[in-house]
Amino acid sequence: MDFHKVTEINGTVKVPGDKSISHRAVMLGSIAKGTTEITGFLQGADCLSTISCFRKMGIDIVNDMDTVTVKGKGIHGLCVPSGVLDAGNSGTTTRLISGILAGQNFTSILTGDNSIQKRPMDRIITPLRMMGAHISGRNGTMYAPLTINGHCLKGIDYTSPVASAQVKSCILLAGLYADGCTSVTEPSLSRNHTELMLSAFGADVRTEGLKASVSGVSELHGQSVHVPGDISSAAYFIAAGMIAQKGQVLIENVGINPTRDGIIKVCLEMGGNLTILNKRLAGGEPVADILVRPSSLHGTVIEGGIIPTLIDEIPVIAVLAAYADGDTIIRDAAELKVKESNRIDTVVTNLTKMGASVQATEDGMIIHGGKALHGAVLDTYMDHRIAMSFAVASLNADGTTVLNDAEIVNISYPDFYSDLKRLSLS
């Protein structure tokens, strides 16, 4: 797909529902008693993979696009899967479902696409085995396909070596099926949607600083879940509006949970012209509209506890940094290497092809901003966030940018290119 420089980004956009919250709503709805109605559900391939896995375990899920209705069968209501469970490209599906499957009294096989089969699963296999689960992966304990023999679980007090909401959520979901209390302590706080939603569905969840705990439950109760717009998708329009020469963008109904809002803090720190409007609570999550105007940006240092709150936005932050004056240093972000692509390598390769000065480091990158960017032929590496980040990079680059495998945006934002085109004037 071809992209060209634009003169103006202008208009209003409503980004699709939050991916993390959409997954969790289907999962908890499936193991709750009664009906769960989800509005604002993300109709992206990743979340559709989660629906298909639970359908294979006998859950009736009606997806009429506006509303997804999950007819939950209770905490012990899942049936033996009708085949291999396929998580597609979705790390969240794979890791969170594994926690639920570990507590079932049947055997399941869970796999995904080529990318999923290369992503580390030992980070969930180790704690699940400590809880008593019988689970194994390919190459010992590293990779999917996973075979999970459901078993009686016991609560553990686990210190996670990584700040990962997927790891934390996997353990907490297994904890629903375990005797006693299950706790996870993280090195820095990752997104807390599982804790918030578990509590809304009636689980006994406690959080204290970096520790989240849950007790085994006898039943969860179906709920209405309103999914806010995904700040990770809004990030592309925040970036586009800031690097544009003219115009303004209003992004409506964006989830601004403090465990996800690092992108806003970093943009403000870089001199971004952002205004947060109409802050409100929707379905237990904070939501706002974000007004973005062209900005004169400068470099910054991004490190430490803020990293998990913007981990998925680092590719587009790197693009902003290339358009900013001065250096931006990103560190403590080695997790980027185990995402849908190795995002340190893929971001550095693509920015370099566009004429930016950027170096990869062990746990991040250094971007020497302020050089004019030019179009180039770029790979998306079948990574949706790389595709969207470099579509944004093209908006202020001279010449033509060609993105290979651009359709990978279907994973999290099927209408991304049409929304971007609607706001772009050339």
* Whole-angstrom distance, CA of residue 207 vs CA of residue 322: 38
Of 5, 20, 98, 333, the one binding ligand S3P (CB under 6 A) is 20
- Decide: is 347 part of the binding site for ligand S3P (CB under 6 A): no
Closer by beta carbon to ligand S3P, 172 or else 267: 172
Of 25, 45, 297, 311, the one binding ligand S3P (CB under 6 A) is 311
The CB-of-29 to ligand S3P minimum distance in angstroms stands at: 16
Helix (H, G, I), strand (E, B) or coil at 120: coil
Closer by beta carbon to ligand S3P, 327 or else 363: 363
The CB-of-112 to ligand S3P minimum distance in angstroms stands at: 14
Beta-ladder partners of 211:
185, 208
Of 169, 192, 223, 328, the one binding ligand S3P (CB under 6 A) is 169
DSSP E strand boundaries for 264-399: 273-282, 285-293, 301-302, 326-330, 357-361, 364-369, 377-378
Alpha helices in 41-164 (DSSP H): 45-56, 91-101, 122-130
- Decide: is 389 part of the binding site for ligand S3P (CB under 6 A): no
Looking at 261, 312, 379, 419, which residue is catalytic?
312
Closer by beta carbon to ligand S3P, 110 or else 165: 165
Sign of the dihedral through C-alpha 17, 18, 19, 21:
negative
Sequential DSSP letters for 354-383: TT-EEEEETTEEEEEE-PPPB--EE--TT-
Quick check: is 312 catalytic?
yes
Q: Is 153 in contact with 103 (CB distance < 8 Å)?
A: yes
Query: Binders of ligand S3P among 171-190, rule CB under 6 A?
Result: 190
The CB-of-116 to ligand S3P minimum distance in angstroms stands at: 12
* Whole-angstrom distance, CA of residue 253 vs CA of residue 13: 9
Query: Binders of ligand S3P among 118-137, rule CB under 6 A?
Result: none
Please choose, out of 163-171, 279-287, 357-365, 391-399, the segment that lies near ligand S3P by the rule CB under 6 A.
163-171
Element of type H or E holding 20:
helix 19-31
Given the rule CB under 6 A, which residues bind ligand S3P?
Answer: 20, 92, 164-166, 169, 190-191, 311-312, 335
